[in-house]
Every structure is written in structure tokens, then in C-alpha cells.
Amino acid sequence: MSTKKVTKIGVLTSGGDSPGMNAAIRAVVRTGLYNGLEVFGIVRGYSGMIDDDIIPMNGRSVANIIQRGGTILKTARSQEFMTAEGRAIAYENLQKHGINGLVVIGGDGSFRGAQKFSSEFNIPCIGIPGTIDRDMAGTDSTIGFDTAVNTAVEAIDKIRDTMDAHDRLFIVEVMGRDAGYIALHSGIATGAENILIPETKTDIEELITSLTEKEKRKKLVNLIVVAEGGEFGDANGLAAIVKKRIPTADVRVCILGHIQRGGSPTCHDRLVASHMGYYAVESLLNGRFNVMIGVINNKITYTPLDKAVKERQRIGQEWMRIVKILAS
């Protein structure tokens, strides 16, 4: 806890966009205004902070945005902010506006920037986890994950129709360069026979044996969901291996790509974002600084930023056992 009083806050979105960020911005702005704070939007994340692209916000600024995907404040990745000179310019711009508290909506890279900035200039920062990957320790939910998974499930369900019609093996690639949560959840929800994720080493021989055995018993419709950061690179790389080892298999690849980042956020993501945005401002008002707002077992939690960026949410081996049993 700190006794430093926050009177003017800035809110920014940084890194990859995720559905529900607008709901979080809305909650931060309206909670801040309700409590008598001045609120500023920082456009294009840390790049906007360096370029002084900082605008005052009021209740009308966030009207009719809760249902929109993306982020009205835009987002960017700033190489300049990674330098001491860039951060010094950013601090000068905050001083110009009198901003003495920050709410950063983003992932671990955004939080690393916030942690560094706060330690150098004593600016209180609060992190709100906005990432479709759900790879942040200290929270059961991250803004955008539920929407991204539901988007993937809807797409895979449609792909299954043509799989069934043509007796095909489909390899569907979903997002998740470093984390396999989207692949795991969407794969289980759509009845995938195999799920490949970065956290687990893939036994390619076991995979080929399983597919060969299924082909022998005339189970020709098979679905493999793979995270883009999987051991074999992408879905096309895996498809080439499968086709070489099982020439008779009718293999098709579908890469869902950035469709998973877009679209109107689900009710769950809107609620999580609103909840976190409210408590981010409350945390600043109560002198609880440099923490990430999380939700564990439906209760708000506060994880120090340095811990949040060092640890990752882990996927338990029991999940993979469930996948194997249910696909048998």
C-alpha cells in the first residue's frame, strides 16, 4: 500500500488486441469520473505516450463501445519505449498533463513495460490482463480469451460438416504461439482426436500410430487442433508429415488466424473486463499500486506486476489425459 494520492489517470491498451478491451476502457473511465478523477486516454499504447497522443476522456467518450471488438484507443508495440530515452520522453508527456497514475490493459510484454516505467519514475501502475492467450499467472480469466475460444469453436464446428461429408482428416491451426489454451479448450469442445500445444512435447510416432489405427477401422473423419507455436511449426508442417507417413489419408489444413482476435466480445468477456476495470481504479484510489488485477474463483485478486510477468499459467497434464480418453 502507498499513501501517494492519484488525481489524474491515463488508460492505454498495448500489445495484441483482444475482444473486451473496450469494455475495460469504459469501466476505467466511468469509475474514474465517478470518483472525481480526471481520465485521459493514451492512443496507440506506449507509442502514443511518447508521441504525446493523449486525450481527455469523459462519459460520452466511452458511450456505445462495450459491444465492440478491438480497442478505441488503438494499440501498438513500441521499440522506443524499451529504451531509457523513450521512457523519459513518455514521462515528460505524462507530467505535462498532470497524469499521476496509469492503467495498462495488455499482456506480459505490456506489464514489463509498466513495471520498468513505474520503478524508474515512481508512477503508480495497475495492469489489466487483456490477451486471448490466457497465459497470465494470477487469474483464471483474461480479457478476450472466452471470445477467441468461442470463435474457434464456431469455425471448427463448421469445418466438421465438410470433414464428415468427405471423410477427411482436418488439421486446424489456432492462435497460441507460446500458450496452448485456445487449442486445448476449442479442441476439447469440438471433439478433436488430437490436440498439439507448445507446453507438451508431441510424440509424432504415437500420433501416426493412432491415425493409422483409426484408418484401419474405417474411422476416416479425424480432427487435429494445433496451436501455432507447436513443436512442428505450423499446421502445414504437420500436414506434410502426416501425408508422407499415411499417403492414403485425405488431409486438409485450415488456419483460423486473426479471425480469433476480432468480433463482438462474449458476455463473459464483457463482465470480466468491466469487473477488472472497476477494481483497477479502486486499487489506485486505495493506494494499492503496481499490481495486476485478476479473478480467481470469482474473486478479485492482486498479483504484483513483477510476479505476473515472471510466471505463466500452466496447463495440467490431467487435461491432456482427458483429451486422450475422450478421443479414443
Question: Nearest 5°: CA angle at 125, between 124 and 131?
Answer: 180
Cβ contacts of residue 262 below 8 Å, gap of 6+?
A: 19, 69, 70, 151
- Residue 296 contacts residue 119 (beta carbons within 8 Å): no
Phi–psi pair at 212, nearest 5 degrees:
-65, -40
Q: Which of 133, 135, 146, 269 is catalytic?
A: 133
Cβ contacts of residue 160 below 8 Å, gap of 6+?
A: 170, 190, 221, 223
Cβ contacts of residue 141 below 8 Å, gap of 6+?
A: 134, 268, 272, 295
Strands 101-106 and 194-196: unpaired
Chain-centroid distance, C-alpha 131: 2
| Active site (annotated) includes residue 135 | no
How far is Cα 78 from Cα 58, in angstroms, rounded to an integer? 27
User: Catalytic residue numbers?
Assistant: 133
